[in-house]
């Protein structure tokens, strides 16, 4: 057991001074109170906060950074970007896939993200039907030290009612049964701070009957279940043409939905259907930087009313949850022409956004993180109170200064399960 004594601790929605934080040997927080005893480590001029939770990532897409940002006359679209992504995916060997994943996970940790939900769909090496890249993913997460929820993704069709294209073969499984067998193997590789979830890529890539089967398997195993939903109008039109309904309506009609399910994006969802979906207890994950980069659109303002919202870095074109939080709010301000769309307790937008970045992601991924509270995983980061981007910020405005004004140089130590990430400021 260790006792940390920072200057400030984020507890119950506010920074508190005079608190000590107990780290238990099992990797959880113990007591958070004053006068626990002689501190093992004094964190001078630092504030301790719960680690942030990235509910949606494609780590291999870190390899697209610097690419796909030059356009012919008329500009690009999501679909032209997808062709660039396919080219990357189909050039990956196991070593480069591992290296890109490791780069992404290490960058997340430096940004104060201690948990990632990795939406993993590039399974096979060229010419193989094995799942060799699963091991490379797990190895990268282990080496980085990040808490991993491996969201194993089923991919069966190239589009609604169409076979896989040659550029999608490295994603595909022959059937739901074959996929579930591979998910069992992936689960057996996981250890320590790692757990399994199941996912269907989308209604485009998985027929609704198979989505139902996968969702039922996840519920039977007590696993979370994620899928992309209504990111692009073309996806919605394809579902309407084939099924007579939009993707979200299909899910509502066919699945027994609860808190285990997360719909990613919902940038083109209708407010009435989205309200029905959220009323089931389900979650929505939005990825503002990627949705802006790919010209997806802005999700409905209705999401601001939900407590079941999380954030993801998706394409990892930039890994910065401060920017994800800011853009979540600012995009709605631009559309709604009013400030404070995501307003939380006592009128604080920053507090609401930070809860989405921590507790919202934990709910989506089914992990007990996102709070500095006894019994929760001891995943945390610290802010350097002497950082230039936090200068002159009083305690009562420190979180707002971090969310809306700080850069990542303000982040000091980072720990997962109470263990310092090497080079991030704490002794082991």
pLDDT in tens, 352-385: 999 999 999 999 999 999 999 999 999 999 999 9
- pLDDT above 70: percentage of residues in the chain: 99
Are 224 and 365 in contact by the 8 Å Cβ rule? The answer is: yes
Q: pTM value?
A: 0.97
Give the mean model confidence (pLDDT) for residues 225-233: 97
For residue range 85-96, list pLDDT tens digits in order: 999 999 999 999
Specify the pLDDT at position 425.
Answer: 63
- Looking at domain 2-50+371-420, which of 2.40.30.10, 3.40.630.30, 2.30.40.10, 3.30.70.2740 is its CATH number? 2.30.40.10
pLDDT band at 428 (very low <50, low <70, confident <90, very high): very low
Give the CATH fold of the 52-365 domain.
TIM Barrel (3.20.20)
The secondary structure of residue 75, as a DSSP letter, is -
C-alpha span between 49 and 185 (Å, rounded) = 35
Residue 344 has pLDDT above 90, yes or no: no
* pLDDT score for 426: 63
Q: Considering only 254-258, 305-309, 344-348, which range has the smallest mean pLDDT?
A: 344-348
Q: What is the pLDDT of residues 38-67, one digit of tens each?
A: 889 999 999 999 999 999 999 999 999 988
Structural domain boundaries in the chain: 2-50+371-420, 52-365
Rounded Cα–Cα distance for residues 46 and 65 (Å): 32
Q: What is the pLDDT of residues 113-127, one digit of tens each?
A: 999 999 999 999 987
Taking residues 239-253, report their average pLDDT: 97
Of the chain, the percentage scoring pLDDT greater than 90 comes to 90
Catalytic residues: 265, 314
Helical H segments across 356-423, by residue range: 361-365, 398-405
Query: What is the rounded distance in angstroms from the CA atom of residue 234 to the CA atom of residue 218?
Result: 28
List, in sequence order, every residue forming a beta bridge with 419; answer none if it has no partner: 416
**Alpha-carbon gap, residue 371 to 377, rounded angstroms:** 8
Report the pLDDT value the prediction gives residue 192, as an integer from 0 to 100.
Answer: 95
Judged against a pLDDT cut of 90, whether residue 345 lies above it is answered with no
Q: For all residues of the chain together, what is the average pLDDT?
A: 95
pLDDT of residue 202: 97
Distance (Å, whole) CA 182 – CA 426: 38
């Amino acid at each position: 057991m260790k006792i940390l004594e920072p200057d400030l601790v984020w507890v119950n929605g506010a920074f508190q001074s005079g608190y000590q934080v107990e780290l238990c040997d099992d990797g959880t927080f113990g007591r958070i109170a004053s006068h626990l005893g002689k501190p093992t480590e004094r964190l001078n001029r630092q504030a301790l906060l719960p680690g942030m939770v990235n509910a949606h990532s494609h780590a291999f897409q870190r390899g697209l950074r610097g690419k796909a940002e030059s356009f012919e006359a008329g500009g690009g679209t999501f679909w032209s970007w997808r062709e660039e992504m396919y080219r990357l995916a189909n050039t990956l060997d196991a070593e480069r896939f591992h290296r890109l994943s490791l780069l992404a996970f290490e960058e997340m940790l430096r940004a104060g993200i201690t948990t990632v939900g990795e939406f993993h769909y590039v399974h096979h090496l060229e010419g193989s039907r094995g799942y060799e890249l699963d091991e490379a993913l797990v190895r990268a997460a282990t080496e980085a030290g990040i808490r991993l929820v491996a969201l194993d993704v089923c991919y069966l069709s190239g589009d609604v009612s169409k076979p896989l294209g040659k550029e999608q073969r490295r994603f595909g499984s022959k059937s739901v049964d074959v996929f579930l067998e591979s998910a069992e193997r992936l689960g057996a590789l996981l250890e320590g701070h790692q757990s399994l979830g199941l996912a269907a890529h989308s209604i485009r890539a998985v027929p609704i009957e198979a989505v139902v089967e996968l969702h039922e398997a996840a519920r039977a195993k007590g696993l979370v279940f994620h899928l992309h939903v209504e990111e692009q109008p073309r996806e919605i039109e394809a579902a309407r043409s084939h099924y007579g309904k939009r993707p979200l309506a299909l899910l509502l009609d066919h699945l027994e939905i609860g808190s285990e399910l997360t719909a990613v994006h919902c940038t083109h969802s209708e407010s009435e259907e989205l309200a029905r979906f959220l009323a089931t207890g389900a979650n929505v994950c939005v990825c503002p930087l990627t949705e802006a980069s790919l010209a997806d659109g802005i999700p409905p303002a209705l999401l601001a009313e939900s407590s079941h919202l999380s954030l993801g870095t998706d394409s990892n074109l930039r890994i910065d949850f401060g920017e994800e939080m800011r853009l979540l709010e600012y995009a709605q301000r631009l559309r709604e022409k009013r400030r404070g769309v995501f307003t939380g307790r006592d009128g604080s937008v920053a507090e609401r956004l930070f809860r989405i970045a921590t507790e919202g992601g934990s709910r989506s991924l089914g992990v007990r993180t996102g709070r500095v509270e006894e019994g929760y995983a001891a995943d945390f980061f610290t802010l350097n109170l002497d950082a230039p981007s936090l200068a002159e910020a009083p305690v009562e405005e420190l979180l707002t200064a971090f969310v809306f004004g700080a850069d990542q140089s303000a982040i000091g130590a980072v720990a997962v399960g109470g263990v310092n990430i090497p080079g991030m400021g704490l002794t082991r």
